[in-house]
Amino acid sequence: MLHLKFNKDKSKQELNAIEKKFKQYSKEKITPEFNVLSLNRTDIYAHVLRIFVQANVHSTLKVSVSQLLDFLIDVAEKYTEAPYHTFYHAADIVTMLYYLCHDLNANKYLTHLDITFLMVAALCHDMGHPGYNNAFQKSNKTDLAVRYGDESILESYSVDLTVELIKKHKLDKKHKEMNDILTDLILSTDMAYHPKLQQESHQLFNTWSQLTATTHTFPSEDRLSLSRILLHTADISNTARPWSISKQWSDLIVKEIYNQGDEEKKLKLTLSAGMDRDVCSQKSITLKFAEMIKPFFESLVSLLPKSHVLVDSLASNRIQWECLELTKKRKMRRASSDIIIQPITFKRIRLGFRSQSYPTVLYHHQSTSKKMLPASFPVQKSHHLLPLEFKSSFIYGTSANSSLESIVLYHPYDQ
Ligand SMILES: [Zn+2]
């Protein structure tokens, strides 16, 4: 029975619903296919709670499951309604982190306490993110920039909110080093540290490859380094997730990016690179990011060989983006031709379009009657396809003894 000390506004029914879902989720495996975006608030609390319990966060911190839920509700409420940087993003990072630790075997290098700090850092790492990045805070001289200076403005803000909640919930009573480690981990989620973390990944591999297979005690600095790498991996893993999930996250981040670009235009600030909706497509933004993080994921494979699945997903999602764009272009070109095709049972079929270009029309025709066809149109007998080029519209007369199976208009660019 869940009982909250701080979030008293949660009704008994709500808590029962969370508990019921928590029990249900606890029986299911946590995989990268798990899509937090499909969850409602009750379900997402239950989902994060079960991950924390399965990772032994409550027992490591010596708190009850209810205390843990109380904490995570407070965390959720500090997240904003930005398109991307919401509590759902935090829950997704927690999910991926659990997967990295348990399925991709990162946990063999870490202690229960390391994993606990990692989970809490993942949950809290973007608290208060307003949906406009550090560069925007700086160039717009926002209150946050005034408060935190030039570097890691948003991450510093998240650290302060985290420390405040850790204190409120007394989570660090047994682990006085908790705040320092959380601070280190959350600050390291600033993308500015991406090259440094890639370097750390290489260094760790070089150090650990010299250790014997039986050596299982890794220095605390190395474990902290791996924790930073894992948290960053989870944080930038959207492009390496199963396609449907990856696409949904891309929609959200691109929405946030365009919002910032719009705001920068409005405020007459220097437009951040890659944020102008009139210049940068969703595909180019997403694939550019995927290309940038690819070497990082590749370096992770040295440390965690099973993480090659992430590199594979990056590659297959790239193909999906190419296919999506191709389909979109075809649709747009066809739509721009404003083709009107009447049902083929009609005796007279009118095809019309307003495009300036000249599409080729292929009639898939079963009739052999040549009376209906202008003599100049060669009949491809093997396929019964009759090519025709025309400029504005064409009226095709059918006769009772012919049957027209289909009409396809090929735009010149599609051929
Ligand atoms: Zn994040």
Which residue's structure tokens are 């990045």? Answer: 133
Q: What is the mean predicted confidence (pLDDT) over 111-133?
A: 97
Give me Rg for the CA atoms of the chain: 28
Q: What torsion, rounded to 10 degrees, do the Cα atoms 5, 11, 15, 21 define?
A: -150
Question: pLDDT grade, residue 265 (50/70/90)?
Answer: very high
Q: How many angstroms does the Cα of residue 62 sit away from the middle of ligand 1?
A: 27
Q: In what order do the strands lie in the sheet with 360-365?
A: 385-389, 360-365, 404-410
Q: What is the pLDDT of residue 360?
A: 43
Distance of CA 142 to the CA centre of its chain: 27
In the beta sheet, which residues pair with residue 397?
348
Cα–Cα distances in angstroms (integers) from residue 1 to residues 16, 19, 58, 145, in the given order: 8, 8, 16, 43
Residue 359 backbone phi and psi in degrees, to 5: -80, 160
Q: How many angstroms does the Cα of residue 77 sit away from the middle of ligand 1?
A: 16
Question: pLDDT grade, residue 412 (50/70/90)?
Answer: very low
| Statement: residue 85 has pLDDT above 90 | yes
Q: What is the mean predicted confidence (pLDDT) over 281-289?
A: 95
The fraction of the chain above a pLDDT of 90, given in percent, is 71
Q: How many angstroms does the Cα of residue 356 sit away from the middle of ligand 1?
A: 47
Question: pLDDT grade, residue 366 (50/70/90)?
Answer: very low
Taking the C-alpha atoms of residue 143 and residue 134, their distance in angstroms, rounded to an integer, is 12
Question: pLDDT grade, residue 333 (50/70/90)?
Answer: low
| Statement: residue 36 has pLDDT above 60 | yes
Q: What is the mean predicted confidence (pLDDT) over 253-278?
A: 94
Q: How many angstroms does the Cα of residue 309 sit away from the middle of ligand 1?
A: 21
Which residues, including other chains, have CB under 8 Å from residue 213's CB and lie 6 or more apart?
A: none
Q: How many angstroms does the Cα of residue 125 sit away from the middle of ligand 1?
A: 6
Model pLDDT for residues 153-162, shown as the tens digit of each residue? 999 999 999 9
User: Bigger pLDDT: 198 or 414?
Assistant: 198
Flag the least confident range among 340-349, 354-363, 405-414. 340-349
Taking the C-alpha atoms of residue 73 and residue 6, their distance in angstroms, rounded to an integer, is 9
Q: What is the mean predicted confidence (pLDDT) over 294-308?
A: 93
Model pLDDT for residues 207-218, shown as the tens digit of each residue? 887 775 555 678
Q: How many angstroms does the Cα of residue 131 sit away from the middle of ligand 1?
A: 11
Q: How many angstroms does the Cα of residue 381 sit away from the middle of ligand 1?
A: 60
Hey, how many other C-beta atoms are within 10 angstroms of the C-beta on 6?
14
Average pLDDT, the chain: 84
Q: What is the pLDDT of residue 214?
A: 58
Task: Report strand pairing: 393-397 vs 348-352.
Answer: antiparallel
| Statement: residue 298 has pLDDT above 60 | yes
Q: What is the pLDDT of residue 285?
A: 96
Phi-psi region of 293 (alpha: psi -120 to 50; beta: other; left: phi over 0): alpha
Q: For the chain, give the longest Cα–Cα distance.
A: 93
CB 229 within 8 A of CB 303: yes
Q: What tokens appear for 267 in the block?
A: 């405020």
In three-state secondary structure terms, 170 is coil
In one letter, which amino acid is 198?
Q
In one letter, which amino acid is 301?
V
Q: How many angstroms does the Cα of residue 289 sit away from the middle of ligand 1?
A: 14
Q: What CATH class has 12-327?
A: mainly alpha
Q: What is the pLDDT of residue 394?
A: 42
Q: How many angstroms does the Cα of residue 196 sit away from the middle of ligand 1?
A: 17
CB 39 within 8 A of CB 47: yes
| Statement: residue 290 has pLDDT above 80 | yes
| Statement: residue 55 has pLDDT above 90 | yes
Q: How many angstroms does the Cα of residue 235 sit away from the middle of ligand 1?
A: 5
Q: What is the pLDDT of residue 323?
A: 84
CA neighbor of 413 nearest in space, from 312, 294, 356, 330 = 330
CB 268 within 8 A of CB 345: no
Q: How many angstroms does the Cα of residue 92 sit away from the middle of ligand 1?
A: 9
| Statement: residue 325 has pLDDT above 50 | yes
Q: What is the pLDDT of residue 340?
A: 42
Question: pLDDT grade, residue 206 (50/70/90)?
Answer: confident
Which letter does DSSP use for residue 248 in this model?
A: H
Flag the least confident range among 61-75, 82-96, 314-328, 346-360. 346-360
Q: What is the pLDDT of residue 327?
A: 78
Question: pLDDT grade, residue 324 (50/70/90)?
Answer: confident
Q: For 402, how many CA atoms within 13 A lie in the half-sphere containing its CB?
A: 22
Q: What is the mean predicted confidence (pLDDT) over 133-152?
A: 96
0.95 cut: is pTM over it? no
| Statement: residue 249 has pLDDT above 90 | yes
Taking the C-alpha atoms of residue 180 and residue 409, their distance in angstroms, rounded to an integer, is 65
Q: What is the pLDDT of residue 361?
A: 47
| Statement: residue 389 has pLDDT above 90 | no
Q: How many angstroms does the Cα of residue 408 sit away from the middle of ligand 1?
A: 47
